[in-house]
């Protein structure tokens, strides 16, 4: 139990303002600002016939290869008992092919023995939002309401996040304020979630304005203040974060450990290393016991600042004080060693982590693989990629993108294409970054056949719901025209003209 004390926060003038160190004992939900995680949908009850991962991969491949008009028949022939849980898993596998994912969702609706759930609708709405297909998004929401499956506060969190990420923050505010018109009243939780969406998108001033207007109506709590403070820290304006935390205390709310961790991270993010260390020391001196998040923040912060020995010292210190590191702590240390020290020392920590019984996650592997690629040890990076599969830790799209990028940079275009082809089996579909990296790589050798490949990649990415940048589109078309592939260039231009999605300028 923490007792009332005083702690100090450095302000703009490096003097200290006093805040009470009466840390409330928060529930798990108050340990950090809320974030929207698209993968955490409502969980349906698993059926005994839930397919294996191999079966899900097979289903995803069937869907990807099926023509839209034949998809319902394909699904009827699948030897699987469809349930919302299974459907969500398949939708996740199809995430980077939005149009095909929505075709799958629609085709399932025609099956007589299956009914969509709130979670499947939420996922489909999220995909439509990512595609900027707002007509489909609102149609899905209307159908959801007709079937009395929602919408829920989570549905609106997804919708507003998609509008904000598309640069339509004003529209997102109107949607939040109109939730009740769709049968979903606003409450403190939905208010906090929406503020977090704005802050994570660096629309902190807008979030702060809404906070000032509605904080009494929704009875702002510690989480609300933490979210706004975290937003200011995200854009490196720690004095504004301090003002919010001072206001929180004056309103009668007590800071939690998450509050202090937010500010500590903010100091490091803003490059205020001296203030970070003083604040960390004050936390311990005043009886605020750091947790694993605190130590991980300090280790990563010192490492990014190039203070590798200090980061190592804090790592040893946390263990000596009885605070066991987490996988995230090891990831932070491995990452900074890769960036600021050497990848070999990072791998030593990776092996130490394994010896102590920790199970590395995909982030751990990605950090090591990026470090090896950066050190021009691509063969070893590929070995680690194979090791991931052996350890049943499937590479994700970031893993593939790291390797493909470095292969392209090294001029190993054929090898990059080989890695890319391994993605197209349904287990990990390419995303916009993958296509942009590869299309750029096709111009390294300046071969006519490479530019044909770039055109095919361009068509494929558009088919999967991605809109190329004007620069990318123009570059591909110009490259085809200049290398004697006028027929293919005209085919792409005709497709663009029909769909009207890609305004462009090109040299004839």
- Which pLDDT value is given to residue 29? 35
194 vs 355: CA distance, rounded Å:
42
Closest CA to 74 of 104, 49, 54, 117: 104
pLDDT band at 294 (very low <50, low <70, confident <90, very high): very high
> Does pLDDT of 84 surpass 70?
yes
pLDDT value at residue 241: 96
Contacts of 411 (CB under 8 A, 6+ apart): 444, 445
pLDDT of res. 425: 62
- Please enumerate in sequence order all residues whose Cβ is within 8 A of that of 78, keeping only pairs 6 or more positions apart, or say none: 59, 62
Rounded to two decimals, what is the model's pTM?
Answer: 0.84
Residue 114 has pLDDT above 90, yes or no: yes
Query: What does the mean pLDDT of the chain come to?
Result: 87
Contacts of 493 (CB under 8 A, 6+ apart): 477, 506
What's the pLDDT band for 46 if we cut at 50, 70, 90?
Answer: very low
The answer to whether residue 181 scores a pLDDT higher than 80 is yes
pLDDT tops 60 at residue 111 = yes
How far is it, in rounded angstroms, from Cα 378 to Cα 375? Answer: 8
pLDDT at 38: 38
Q: How confident is the model at residue 416 (pLDDT cuts 50, 70, 90)?
A: very high
pLDDT at residue 119 in the model: 97
User: Binning pLDDT at 50, 70 and 90, where does residue 504 land?
Assistant: very low
Q: Which residue has the higher pLDDT, 311 or 21?
A: 311
More reliable by pLDDT, 360 or 469: 360
Over residues 196-227, the pLDDT tens digits come to 999 999 999 999 999 999 999 999 999 999 99
Residue 98 contacts residue 464 (beta carbons within 8 Å): yes
pLDDT at position 45 over 50: no
Asked if residue 500 has pLDDT above 70, the reply is no
- Supply φ then ψ for residue 495, to 5 degrees: -65, -40
- Least trusted range by pLDDT, from 20-24, 255-259, 474-478: 20-24
For the segment 344-354, the average pLDDT, to the nearest whole number, is 96
Give the per-residue pLDDT at 15: 33
What local confidence, expressed as pLDDT, does residue 42 receive? 37
2, 287 Cβ separation under 8 angstroms:
yes
């Amino acid at each position: 139990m923490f007792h009332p004390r005083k702690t100090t926060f450095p302000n703009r003038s490096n003097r200290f303002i006093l805040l009470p160190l009466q840390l409330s004992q928060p529930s798990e939900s108050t340990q950090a600002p809320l974030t929207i995680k698209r993968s955490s949908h409502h969980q349906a009850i698993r059926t005994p016939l839930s397919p294996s991962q191999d079966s899900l991969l097979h289903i995803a491949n069937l869907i990807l290869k099926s023509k839209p008009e034949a998809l319902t028949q394909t699904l009827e022939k699948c030897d699987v008992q469809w349930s919302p849980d299974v459907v969500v898993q398949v939708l996740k596998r199809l995430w980077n092919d939005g149009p095909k994912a929505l075709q799958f969702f629609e085709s399932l609706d025609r099956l007589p023995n299956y009914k969509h759930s709130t979670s499947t609708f939420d996922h489909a709405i999220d995909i439509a939002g990512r595609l900027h297909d707002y007509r489909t998004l609102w149609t899905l929401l209307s159908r959801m309401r007709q079937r009395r499956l929602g919408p829920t506060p989570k549905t609106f969190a997804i919708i507003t996040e998609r509008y904000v990420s598309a640069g339509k923050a004003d529209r997102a505010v109107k949607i939040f304020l109109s939730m009740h018109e769709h049968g979903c009243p606003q409450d403190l939780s939905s208010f906090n979630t929406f503020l977090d969406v704005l802050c994570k998108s660096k629309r902190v001033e807008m979030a702060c304005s809404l906070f000032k207007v509605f904080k009494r109506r929704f009875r702002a709590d510690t989480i609300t203040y933490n979210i706004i403070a975290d937003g200011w820290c995200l854009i490196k304006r720690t004095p504004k974060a301090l003002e919010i935390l001072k206001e929180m205390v004056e309103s009668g709310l007590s800071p939690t450990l998450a509050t202090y961790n937010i500010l500590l991270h903010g100091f490091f993010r803003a490059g205020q290393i001296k203030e970070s260390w003083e604040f960390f020391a004050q936390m311990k001196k005043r009886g605020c016991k750091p947790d694993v998040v605190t130590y991980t923040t300090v280790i990563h912060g010192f490492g990014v600042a190039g203070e590798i020995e200090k980061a190592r010292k804090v790592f040893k210190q946390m263990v000596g004080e009885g605070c066991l590191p987490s996988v995230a702590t090891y990831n932070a240390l491995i990452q900074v060693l890769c960036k600021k020290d050497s990848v070999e020392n990072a791998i030593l920590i990776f092996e130490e982590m394994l010896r102590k019984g920790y199970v590395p996650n995909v982030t751990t592997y990605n950090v090591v693989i990026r470090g090896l690629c950066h050190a021009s040890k691509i063969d070893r990076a590929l070995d680690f990629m194979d090791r991931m599969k052996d350890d049943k830790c499937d590479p994700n799209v970031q893993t593939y993108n790291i390797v493909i990028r470095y292969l392209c940079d090294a001029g190993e275009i054929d090898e990059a294409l080989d890695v890319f082809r391994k993605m197209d089996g349904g287990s990990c579909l390419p995303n916009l970054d993958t296509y942009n990296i590869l299309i750029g790589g096709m111009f390294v050798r300046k071969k006519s056949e490479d530019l044909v490949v770039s055109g095919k990649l361009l068509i494929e990415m558009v088919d999967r719901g991605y809109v190329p940048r004007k620069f990318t589109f123009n570059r591909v078309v110009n490259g085809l025209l200049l290398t004697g592939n006028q027929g293919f260039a005209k085919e792409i231009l005709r497709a663009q003209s029909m769909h009207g999605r890609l305004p462009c300028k090109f040299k004839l």
